[in-house]
Amino acid sequence: MGLSLRMRRRGGAKKDILTPAISSSEEEEEIVIPSQFQCPISYDLMKDPVIIASGITYDRENIEKWFESGNQTCPVTNTVLATLEQTPNHAIRRMIQEWCVAKGSSLDRVPTPRVPISSHQAIEICGKLLSATRRGDHVVCVEMVEKMKRLVQESERNTKCFKANGVGLVLCVCFNAFSENANASELLEDVLLLLTWMFPIGSKGQANLTSTTSFTRIVGFLKSGDQNAAFLVKELLSLDEANVDKLATINGVFDALVKSIRDSSSLTSIFHMISAKPETTSRFMELGLVNSTVEMLVDSENSVCEKALLVLDAICESNEGRTIVRGNELVMPILVKKILKISEFAKKSLVSVMWKICKTGDGTEVEEALRLGAFKKLVVMLQVGCGEGTKEKVTELLKMMNRHMKTNGFVDVSDSSIEFMHLKKPS
């Protein structure tokens, strides 16, 4: 028995492709994949067949996922395996390739897979890079880093192997060693790319990347719009608040972060800096952070809105921040518009921003929120449910609005179906 597929032959195309069978006048050809060519887990044609200790052959990708899920048994026989090692099944692979060729243009030929690196090979490459770094041998470092990059891009397995064998620390040492070398830009760019796959890097790796020379070079890449640099800055700031103090001393870092704010990593970095070091808020304000953040709320996806609202909420912790936020005419309309359209996590920040600027304002913010329809939306939010802290802020916002309506005759409150006597008074 074998898996039966239908292939639709498209007229005029250079290569036929496998597609689900459909009812049409087009010529259809049935292809049956022999059972011995199918992976017992997915029943798909195997591309990289490997034998495990039980003697059963699987496609490497599928059996690795099985092992990574914590399983130590053979999926077919359910026997406990003495080892999780996998051996390429060259015989089956050649048979699959020959079968694909025999089908002519009906199937793409299964390519010969590249054998993943072993721990021994990863350690050897790592050792050569470390030795070359200590000698200051730029040429060999470039060679080793390029080799790593090629292997990492070949498969996720190679990435995990490098990561498990301490490559992250060696890359950090290499970056720090060449950070003052003006001619090492390409090497350092590749190191940054590799490092995005190697986190967490440990305290020693972190110490190398947060040295003054390393941080200065990373900020230099950030200024040029390097997304890998933005990612690294975000990761380093999230690891240790002490890194915020180090980064804040690097010339041009504030400007670089604001200019790259469209990268969500930079947005998160700004949040970390303002939260851990509130005095940085003023510097960010001078560079137009509020306007840039508000603009991101207009049409960004949900995950970006979450980060932008976190930043606005952190800004509103200071009097200066709240004043500048109030001065942006788009803030309240955007907040009200998004109340019921964002994630629960984002709602927490949104309500906090609205609460801070309304509670400490002169009443015009409350009136604007009412005019824009915030009252009904906040009531719905309260009825649907939210976290305790957010619930208290929503309740207080509704009470502020209710008082404003009664005092200023904004609306006929007798028409309101909401009774505020039962609302819990915030502590």
Q: List pLDDT tens digits, range 403-418.
A: 988 887 665 443 444 4
**Predicted local distance difference test score (pLDDT) of residue 6:** 45
**Predicted local distance difference test score (pLDDT) of residue 79:** 92
Q: How far is CA 284 from CA 240, 255, 273, 289, 352, in A?
A: 21, 8, 10, 6, 20
Q: Cβ neighbours of residue 208 under 8 Å, at least 6 residues apart?
A: 169, 172, 173, 175, 176, 214
Ranges of residues in the chain whose predicted pLDDT is under 70 = 1-30, 104-113, 409-427
Question: How many C-beta atoms lie closer than 10 Å to residue 193's C-beta?
Answer: 19
The CATH number fitting domain 300-409, selected from 1.25.10.10, 3.40.50.620, 1.10.10.10, 1.25.40.10:
1.25.10.10
pTM of the full predicted structure?
Answer: 0.72
**Predicted local distance difference test score (pLDDT) of residue 110:** 62
Domain boundaries, the chain: 35-103, 300-409
φ and ψ of 8, to 5 deg: -95, 125
Fold of 35-103: Herpes Virus-1 (3.30.40)
Tens digit of each residue's pLDDT (9 = 90 or more) over 94-124: 888 888 887 765 556 566 667 788 889 999 9
